[in-house]
A and B are shown apart, each in its own frame.
Chain A
Amino acid sequence: MAIASDRLLRAVLPVAAALARPLIFLLARTWRCRWVAGEERLGALLAAGRPAVFVFWHHGLYSAGYPVLRRLLATGAGAASLVSQSRDGDLAARLARPLDLALARGSTSRGGLAGLRHLRRLLLREGRSVFAAPDGPRGPARVARPGTIILAQTTGAPLVPVAAVANRAWRLGSWDRLVVPKPFARVALAVGEPRELARSADPQEESRRLGETLDALELLCEGAIGGPRSGGD
């Protein structure tokens, strides 16, 4: 029975991804994005053409990560991300297929080390910026783990926090309560100060600091949107 349902899911997954992909891209085009902080510094960073490690809470994958990714890809720069080896990761990988986004597979539970090493190589050898959720791929939500910190430390790439809040959004029932802004939603976006981390910095302490920064940026967006908060709980 389990094998049959697994086969069914494997067969359905490509179809579901093919159907969802254009809908998500179309939906994102309707969002009215407004930068409430850091647009200039993001522009300067992208203009410099230097790879960076962009980080956002996992629930902001679409609302925070995707608008920055699109902006980066529009400059002709490359990007990379880490997706889990689970079925969720398969779906994410299929959804991302049309984008110039190199994917490393792995998570903290399975193949995480190989995934992080792969991301590091993509950044150093191909100059791709990394997009990552420090609380992914399975949470706990809003608790930053040190993988992305170490990635920034050991590559010399600046760590760039990003947050977003939409005035109207769907919240999925997943562990992260993924935010999907509704059509024509107003999305407030904030980019924090890029930081280059010394190799000697304590990853645990830096993770805590990153979490505080992401929460503060989200509050800033919430204040700017002037409506019900949909960035986090």
Chain B
Amino acid sequence: MQDSPRHQAALEVVAEVSGRPVGELTSETELVADLGVDSAKALTMLVELEDRLGIEIDDEEVTELSTVGDVLRAIEKL
């Protein structure tokens, strides 16, 4: 995975919300199956991503997020 400050911040958010160390996360890590991200955790994750990175992720984009790599690609587009 790339290591830009934005990516790093996003990984920290995913790690905090899921309770897993950043080092365990890969692009292929599944948000639901591997990290147990339910809709409540997903809301926290998205809010933290948007607030910390000063971005807004579209609802349509959100439905496409299934892996950590998807999250990183989504924030890269913004």
Q: How many residues of A contact B (CB 8 A)?
A: 17
Contact assessment for B59 and A117 in the assembled complex, using a CB-CB cutoff below 8 Å: yes
Which residues between 1 and 57 of chain B lie within 8 Å of chain A, taking CB atoms? 39-40, 42-44, 46-47
Q: Cβ of A120: which chain B residues have Cβ within 8 Å of it?
A: 43, 47
- Indicate which residue in B43, B59, B62, B63 contacts A154 across the interface (CB closer than 8 Å): B43
- Cβ of A146 within 8 Å of any chain B Cβ, yes or no, is yes
Contact assessment for A116 and B44 in the assembled complex, using a CB-CB cutoff below 8 Å: no
Per the bound structure, the CA–CA distance linking A116 and B41 in Å amounts to 12
- Kindly state the interface size class of chain B when it binds its partner: 10 to 19
Q: Cβ of A117: which chain B residues have Cβ within 8 Å of it?
A: 43, 46, 59, 62
| Closest chain A CB from B52 CB (angstroms) | 12
A114-B59, A117-B59 as given contacts; A147 in contact with B46, CB under 8 Å: no
Contact assessment for A150 and B62 in the assembled complex, using a CB-CB cutoff below 8 Å: no
- Cβ of A113 within 8 Å of any chain B Cβ, yes or no, is yes
| Closest chain B CB from A119 CB (angstroms) | 10
Q: Cβ of A116: which chain B residues have Cβ within 8 Å of it?
A: 39, 43
Per the bound structure, the CA–CA distance linking A150 and B37 in Å amounts to 14
A113-B62, A114-B62, A117-B59 as given contacts; A146 in contact with B40, CB under 8 Å: yes
Per the bound structure, the CA–CA distance linking A151 and B42 in Å amounts to 12
- Cβ of A89 within 8 Å of any chain B Cβ, yes or no, is no
Per the bound structure, the CA–CA distance linking A118 and B39 in Å amounts to 13
Binary CB contact string for chain A from 181 to 207 against chain B (1 if under 8 A, 0 otherwise) = 000000000000000000000010000
Q: Cβ of B59: which chain A residues have Cβ within 8 Å of it?
A: 114, 117-118
- Cβ of A108 within 8 Å of any chain B Cβ, yes or no, is yes
* Chain A residue nearest to B44 in the complex (CB): A150
Contact assessment for B39 and A112 in the assembled complex, using a CB-CB cutoff below 8 Å: yes
Per the bound structure, the CA–CA distance linking A145 and B39 in Å amounts to 11
Contact assessment for A150 and B46 in the assembled complex, using a CB-CB cutoff below 8 Å: no
Which of A118, A150, A153, A203 gathers the greatest number of chain B CB atoms within 10 Å?
A150
Per the bound structure, the CA–CA distance linking A147 and B42 in Å amounts to 10
Contact assessment for A203 and B62 in the assembled complex, using a CB-CB cutoff below 8 Å: no
* Chain B residue nearest to A149 in the complex (CB): B40
**Measuring CB to CB, which residues of chain B are less than 8 angstroms from any residue of chain A?**
39-40, 42-44, 46-47, 59, 62-63
Beyond the given pairs A113-B43, A113-B62, A117-B59, 15 more chain A to chain B contacts, judged by CB atoms under 8 angstroms and listed by A's residue number, are A113-B39, A113-B42, A113-B46, A114-B62, A116-B43, A117-B62, A120-B43, A120-B47, A147-B39, A150-B40, A150-B43, A150-B44, A150-B47, A154-B43, A154-B47
28 A-B pairs in the complex with CB atoms less than 8 angstroms apart: A108-B39, A112-B39, A113-B39, A113-B42, A113-B62, A114-B59, A114-B62, A116-B39, A116-B43, A117-B43, A117-B46, A117-B59, A120-B47, A145-B40, A146-B40, A147-B39, A147-B40, A147-B43, A149-B40, A150-B40, A150-B43, A150-B44, A151-B43, A153-B44, A154-B44, A154-B47, A203-B40, A203-B44
